[in-house]
Chains A and B, each alone.
Chain A
Amino acid sequence: MNDQAQRLAGRLLLHEELQLSEPEMTHYLATNKLTALSPFLKNFLSLQCRRCGNKQRHLFGEMPCSNCKKTHAYCRKCINMGRVMACTPLYWWTGPKPVWPQLAHPMVWSGQLTPAQQKASNCIYHAIKTGQASLLIHAVCGAGKTEMLFEGIAFALKSQKRICLATPRADVVRELLPRFEQAFLGVEIVGLYGGNGAHQQTGQLTIATTHQLLRYQHAFDVMIIDEVDAFPYHADPSLPYATKRAQTQQATTIYLTATPREKRLKRLPTIFVPVRYHGYPLPIPQLKIVPLFDHSHGLTSLWTWYKGRTDPNRQLLIFTATIKQANQLFPVIKRRYPDQRVMLVHANDAERIDKVRQFRDKQLDILITTTILERGVTFPSVDVVVLQADHHVFDQAALVQIAGRAGRDPKDPNGDVIFIYSGKTRAIAHAVRAIKRMNKKAGF
């Protein structure tokens, strides 16, 4: 029974996702261990999808259903996770609570925290221990956020609490999972993101893309929301909806961000971590304005900077606003620097995981990328160039994150960050100001 409780507790699943035999299913339903919930909530005249919270009429469709011989609604918003329709209930575990392994010392990580990290770590520990509702960690890129979480998570694990770390990107889940597996021993840890097929497993510690939380309800006692300012979290209302529903009533929510923009966040109890774990300041972006009548679209600025870069041994990340631009740039860069190993990666790239690994393994010198690599993914020693930094995809949060890719390693704490643009946007100005302010706070 505990096996089933561990597997199903806190999840909100379609019939086919339960993976139960018909007799098991009938038994659990008859004994109220499993409860069937109506898939749609009917408010006055309007419909709401229970799984994703969608209320928009145009995101519901109607189909003549061969199973119930009726024409009825289905949700188009969350259809990629399996279709929710009027005649398919969502199932929720109402049986015994899962019991997790009792571990005296789940954390085997023995690294050293910097004083700034230790202070944040203490606050997180305290928040979890006292059941504080929320805490915002405002930390610069490269502050060492993951390690700050370890002590609090270890306490939660020992207290039989369930923890989720939600992040906007699958790349980040892939990067964090092995680090947590190394830091915690004997703990059931599961990493979830679209298409990795692991959604049948569960653990006491879940590392997931925010989208995966659509499959949870009242599951987590500690919810850590990484990059709460990042797209798509603040753009898609179903993500905050699912994040809230995935938590238990007394849950502690810990928000992590490098750029708190929303007023709602600014009102939360906040801990600043303005200094990077290696103690060096954040690289300040250098602004290159594309002159009028420049037909190279900023490439002349790129060539000039490249010739005089401070450390030619660093790898180079070039960010473009669109996939199309990345595709156009790729042959140009290859022709210009024939002795450099150049590669191109974007969101719809099937070989994306492999290419990022090659870059990390230093099998590539220059990686042209769209904003998919703006956050979470770290490389020790890179220079960063943003072409067309005034494009609207580069909002303040994105620019701060992109700049934060440079200087991550104590052996090379600097790195050139170049924004190339023709018209200065608020996002550029605010990003530079935010970076300078954090350096000042850190005492530089």
Chain B
Amino acid sequence: MQLHVIEEPTCDYCGRNDLGVCNDCNRWRPHMLINKNRAVYRYNPFLKDLITRFKYRGDYILIEALSLMIKQTFITAYSKLPKKTVLVPIPLSSKRLQNRGFNQAEAIAKCLPYPTVQLLRRTEGEKQAKKNRKQRLTMKNPFELMDQVDAELIILIDDIYTTGATIHHAAQILKENGYRNISSFTLVR
């Protein structure tokens, strides 16, 4: 078992390995808040173990082994970007950040050739792991704006795009604050 890099064709919205628009996005594609998501790897048991070790156990340097592929996928997926492109990692709650010692989304953003700005923060803890799909999608927006930036394009960065709820919550806050051009990029779809 190994890492499975996502190749064309993919769902043109969420970046999942699929033809055209995938089932998930057919069912639920909230107001086109983002232009598109793109991801590096498909979810499989091998990657699950890797993520566990990287994110939950905190073995930070595992990102080094993935960084080249992360960068390459990003450059291919986002070939012509405006000059003022800014990466915004999905934040952790301060308690979780303290436990882990680093934010995995920030570690992913650091592999990419654009500046990272901490634009968002959490208003409450993150516990979506235990929630089902519907609960995740209808829950109150957990993010708020904590800064401003002059950007033509914002790319949200996270480790996993599962239902897309986290990314869309973040995008919604950005939209409400006047940022109109938003995409996202994740390690896993």
Give A contacts to B, CB under 8 Å. Answer: 16, 61-67, 74, 76, 79-80, 83, 85
A residues in contact with B103, CB < 8 Å: 66
Once the chains bind, are B98 and A63 in contact (CB under 8 Å)?
Answer: no
Question: Interface residues of B toward A: which range?
Answer: 10 to 19
Once the chains bind, are A66 and B97 in contact (CB under 8 Å)?
Answer: yes
Once the chains bind, are A63 and B58 in contact (CB under 8 Å)?
Answer: yes
Once the chains bind, are A63 and B101 in contact (CB under 8 Å)?
Answer: yes
From B53, B57, B61, B102, A66 is in contact (CB under 8 Å) with B102
User: In the complex, what distance in Å separates the CA atom of A66 from the CA atom of B60?
Assistant: 12
Once the chains bind, are B57 and A63 in contact (CB under 8 Å)?
Answer: no
User: In the complex, what distance in Å separates the CA atom of A62 from the CA atom of B59?
Assistant: 9
Once the chains bind, are A83 and B101 in contact (CB under 8 Å)?
Answer: yes
Once the chains bind, are A85 and B101 in contact (CB under 8 Å)?
Answer: yes
User: In the complex, what distance in Å separates the CA atom of A74 from the CA atom of B60?
Assistant: 9
From B57, B59, B101, A65 is in contact (CB under 8 Å) with B101
B residues in contact with A80, CB < 8 Å: 57
A-facing mask of B35-68, CB < 8 A → 1, else 0? 0000000000000000001000111110000000
User: In the complex, what distance in Å separates the CA atom of A211 from the CA atom of B102?
Assistant: 27
User: In the complex, what distance in Å separates the CA atom of A74 from the CA atom of B59?
Assistant: 8
Once the chains bind, are A63 and B97 in contact (CB under 8 Å)?
Answer: no
Once the chains bind, are A83 and B61 in contact (CB under 8 Å)?
Answer: no
B residues in contact with A79, CB < 8 Å: 53, 57-59
User: In the complex, what distance in Å separates the CA atom of A62 from the CA atom of B101?
Assistant: 12
B residues in contact with A65, CB < 8 Å: 101-102
How many residue pairs bridge A and B at CB < 8 Å? 37
A-facing mask of B90-102, CB < 8 A → 1, else 0? 0000000111111
Q: A66-B102, A66-B103 are in contact. Are A61 and B59 (CB under 8 A)?
A: yes
User: In the complex, what distance in Å separates the CA atom of A316 from the CA atom of B102?
Assistant: 51
A residues in contact with B102, CB < 8 Å: 63-66
User: In the complex, what distance in Å separates the CA atom of A79 from the CA atom of B60?
Assistant: 11
Once the chains bind, are A76 and B101 in contact (CB under 8 Å)?
Answer: no
From A16, A62, A67, B60 is in contact (CB under 8 Å) with A62
A residues in contact with B57, CB < 8 Å: 79-80, 83
User: In the complex, what distance in Å separates the CA atom of A62 from the CA atom of B61?
Assistant: 7
User: In the complex, what distance in Å separates the CA atom of A83 from the CA atom of B99?
Assistant: 10
Q: How close is A243's CB to chain B, nearest CB, in angstroms?
A: 24
User: In the complex, what distance in Å separates the CA atom of A61 from the CA atom of B102?
Assistant: 13
Task: Pull 23 A–B residue pairs with CB atoms less than 8 Å apart, ordered by A.
Answer: A16-B99, A61-B59, A61-B60, A61-B61, A62-B61, A63-B58, A63-B60, A64-B102, A65-B102, A66-B97, A66-B98, A66-B101, A66-B102, A66-B103, A67-B101, A74-B60, A79-B53, A79-B58, A79-B59, A83-B57, A83-B58, A83-B59, A85-B101
Q: How close is A264's CB to chain B, nearest CB, in angstroms?
A: 34
A residues in contact with B53, CB < 8 Å: 79
Q: Report the nearest B residue to A68, measured CB to CB.
A: B101
Q: How close is A7's CB to chain B, nearest CB, in angstroms?
A: 22
Q: How close is B138's CB to chain A, nearest CB, in angstroms?
A: 31
User: In the complex, what distance in Å separates the CA atom of A176 from the CA atom of B103?
Assistant: 43
Once the chains bind, are A76 and B97 in contact (CB under 8 Å)?
Answer: no
Interchain residue pairs A-B with the least CB separation, the first 8 = A63-B60, A61-B61, A83-B58, A65-B101, A79-B57, A66-B97, A79-B59, A66-B102
B residues in contact with A85, CB < 8 Å: 101
User: In the complex, what distance in Å separates the CA atom of A66 from the CA atom of B102?
Assistant: 6
Q: Report the nearest B residue to A76, measured CB to CB.
A: B59
Q: Report the nearest B residue to A62, measured CB to CB.
A: B61
Q: How close is B186's CB to chain A, nearest CB, in angstroms?
A: 21
Once the chains bind, are A67 and B98 in contact (CB under 8 Å)?
Answer: yes
A residues in contact with B60, CB < 8 Å: 61-64, 74
A residues in contact with B97, CB < 8 Å: 66
Q: Report the nearest B residue to A87, measured CB to CB.
A: B101
A residues in contact with B101, CB < 8 Å: 63, 65-67, 83, 85
A residues in contact with B59, CB < 8 Å: 61, 76, 79, 83
B residues in contact with A74, CB < 8 Å: 58, 60
Q: How close is B156's CB to chain A, nearest CB, in angstroms?
A: 19
Other A-B contacts than A62-B61, A66-B97, A79-B53, 15 sampled, CB-CB below 8 A, are: A61-B61, A63-B58, A63-B60, A63-B61, A63-B101, A63-B102, A64-B102, A67-B98, A74-B58, A74-B60, A76-B59, A79-B57, A79-B58, A79-B59, A83-B101
Q: How close is A181's CB to chain B, nearest CB, in angstroms?
A: 33
A residues in contact with B61, CB < 8 Å: 61-63, 76
User: In the complex, what distance in Å separates the CA atom of A61 from the CA atom of B59?
Assistant: 7
